[in-house]
Amino acid sequence: MKKSISITLIVLRLFLGGIMIAGGIGKFLKPLPSPTEILQKAESYTSPNDTQTLQKILYISGSKQTGYFWELLGVCELLFGLLLVIQGTGFVGALLLLPITLNIFLFHLFLEPEKVGELVQWVLFLIINIVLVLHERSKWKHLLWIKPI
């Protein structure tokens, strides 16, 4: 039983790490749009029915236009995904990746609730990430409650 759990956790780590590595690399493959391109795209979604689409465009485009955040997110996804895939650093990778998977899940929950498939996919990724962190709770639980001497 313990061996099958160990194998399952390794598969989950490799799967989530691979997804994050691919996502991190993907952030650098497309050129960043210019502010005028974003403005033109946003102006085409000004009707009240397109509010959620406009919010998504402005959120993602704003992240890209900062000049650092989109790239930082890509580097973090790539680095934390690699840490997750490597046997000895899997716990650190899972712990550092948790805020990123939470943010991506919340993005889909609040800005793309109509895309149920993607929402379910990111719920599963978040659950996998939480399971990976909780499995190693013996390594960090003492940080939550320090006993007085």
Domain ranges of the chain: 2-32+67-143
Handedness of CA 84, 85, 86, 88 (dihedral sign): positive
Q: What is the dihedral of CA 99, 102, 104, 108, to 10 degrees?
A: -160
Q: What is the dihedral of CA 32, 40, 100, 123, to 10 degrees?
A: -130
- The two structure tokens encoding residue 124: 């599963």
Residue type, 102: L
pTM for the predicted model, two decimal places: 0.84
**pLDDT at residue number 148:** 67
In this predicted structure, the answer to whether residue 76 has a pLDDT above a threshold of 70 is: yes
**pLDDT at residue number 58:** 82
> For 72-91, what is the mean pLDDT?
94
